[in-house]
Amino acid sequence: MSMEEKQNSQTFQDFSSSVLRPDKEETIAEIIKHCYKKNIPLEICGSGSKKNIGRNFQSQKTLDLSNYSGIIKYEPEELYIKVKSGTPIKEIKEELEKKNQHLAFEPTDFGPLFKGQANEGTIGGVLSCNFAGPRRFKVGSARDHILGFKGVNGKGEIIKSGGTVVKNVTGYDLSKLITGSFGTLSVFTEISIKVLPKPDLTKTLIISNPHLKKGLEHLSVALSSSCDPSGAAFYPEFFQDKFTFNDLTTKGPITAIRIEGSKLSIDERIKQLINELAVDKKEISILDPEQSNIFWEKTRSLNVFSNLKNNLLRIIVPGSEAFDLINKLKIYNIKYFIDWGGNLAWVQLDQLNSNILKEIKTIVKNLGGYLTVIKVDESLKASIDIFTIDVVKYKISEKIKKGFDPKRILNPGKMYTGI
């Protein structure tokens, strides 16, 4: 063992272990610096809730951040919380709950899909993947809520960007660049994130629709109305048994529109929305706050796919193209539901191979959208592109990667070969 290695091993005690669990920022930086010098590729991981998303890649060690956890500072009146990156979302939510605040972008919970139980993962993981839940079209995604961060780049240097205030245009917005980069540019250490007051109440207007086209029309009207909805989803008939609510008086496909705010205002807006949608009273049900919460929790955690053995795609298209998308995908025997008011389709396929995926990607691209493969048979994973990228963006991304992680030791190949 060289002098240098001895020194390192004194700080982070067991480097021989394949999983490293540092609990200090300096240790994270030391580990990465060491790996940089020795060309040791690392897999970066929080609680592992989204570990299966992305390409498989070769790593020698896992940098597990779950011990680097805790709330650093929470200032409810300044609307931000600063946390260590390994802090579980659950812990953050519980803390915010005390002051009646929340993370407005309600991250997608992939726990049920991959592990059979709720696990929203850590804040570092949520930001690294940037998957936002049903409120996305109203409040933005995770990237719209990060205010600043500290992190460690692939050279083991501690870097920072942004701060704790909402308005900050000092230098390039690295917070956004790192968010959604799947741990390939830097490892988050400290994260400052915007928090917002929790709405007093939530109710959901359910409309029983005969078909997708009408459902999408309703979603579009809702999103264009001044009723300010915060959730807008469509579930086809196939999933009707997944929702058994007392307030739900109908069967069949459903369109769900969530309205949040004070009690008076919710009732007023639901009434107005019913008028704008021109729906008959027989077609509608209204979920009370408790049932409404359950409904959107189920949507956010992809509950209808929780026993899924097969393949799941996350397809994003402009809302106007959702109908065409689903129609064109029907030949692949899909099961799906629509979220984000028509802008997001979660699509399950029993059969998937690289040819089918290519065909679907072409359909999606022609509609002006993109898709991410969320869950797929391990045997297929190596032969398909999980993410999609064009040549120009690949070249730019490759150069940016080089600036942050020149030896490609942070999640190398997690997103794209060579990045």
d(CA 260, CA 273): 13
The Cα 80–Cα 75 span in angstroms is 6
Beta carbon of residue 77, minimum distance to another protein (angstroms, whole number): 4
- To another protein, the closest distance from the beta carbon of 417 in angstroms equals 13
- Closer CB to another protein, residue 268 or residue 359? 268
The span of 45-53, 245-253, 315-323, 349-357 binding another protein (CB under 8 A) equals 315-323
- Three-state secondary-structure class, residue 331: helix
Which stretches does DSSP call E strand in 242-354? 254-261, 284-287, 311-316, 334-339, 344-349
What binding mask, one character per residue, do residues 110-139 give for another protein by CB under 8 A, x or -? --------------------x-x---xx--
393 binds another protein (CB under 8 A): yes
* Contact (CB, 8 A) for 228 and 158: no
Among 40, 79, 308, 380, binds another protein (CB under 8 A): 79
Strand partners, 315: 345, 371
Using the 8-state DSSP alphabet, how is residue 302 labeled? T
Per-residue CA distances from 377 to 47, 118, 195, 303, 345 (Å): 22, 21, 37, 20, 20
- The residue whose two tokens read 């730019």 is 396
Q: Does residue 189 belong to the site contacting another protein (CB under 8 A)? A: no
Interface characters, 138-157, with another protein (x: CB under 8 A): --xx-xx--------x---x
| Binding-site size, another protein (CB under 8 A) | 84
For the CB of residue 399, give the shortest distance to another protein in the complex, in Å. Answer: 4
DSSP state of 265: H
Of residues 210, 182, 232, 110, the one with CA closest to residue 389: 182
Q: By CB under 8 A, what part of segment 257-296 binds another protein? A: 261-262, 264-265, 268-269, 272
Look at strands 370-375 and 344-349 and give their pairing: unpaired
Site for another protein contains 176 (CB under 8 A): yes
What's the CA gap between 306 and 155, in Å, rounded?
A: 39
Among 53, 65, 185, 410, binds another protein (CB under 8 A): 185
Q: Distance between CA 87 and CA 103 in Å, rounded?
A: 14
Minimum separation from the CB atom of position 135 to another protein (A): 11
> In the window 339-368, what residues touch another protein (CB under 8 A)?
340, 343-344, 368
Nearer to another protein, 142 or 248 (CB): 142
Interface residue with another protein, options 67, 164, 240, 310 (CB under 8 A): 164
Q: Interface with another protein includes 413 (CB under 8 A)?
A: no
Query: Residue from 281, 282, 309, 399 that binds another protein (CB under 8 A)?
Result: 399
> Which residues fall within 8 angstroms of residue 377, CB to CB, at 6 or more apart?
310, 311, 352
44-73: contacts with another protein (CB under 8 A): none
Q: Is 224 in the site for another protein (CB under 8 A)?
A: yes
Smallest gap from residue 217 Cβ to another protein (A): 10
User: Residues 91 to 110: which contact another protein by CB under 8 A?
Assistant: 99-101
Check if the beta carbon of residue 346 is closer than 8 Å to that of residue 302.
Answer: yes
Rounded Cα distance between 390 and 378, Å, is 25
When the beta carbons of 31 and 248 are compared against another protein, the nearer one is: 31
Q: State which of residues 85, 122, 181, 301 lies at the interface with another protein (CB under 8 A).
A: 181
User: In which element (H, E) is residue 189 found?
Assistant: strand 186-194
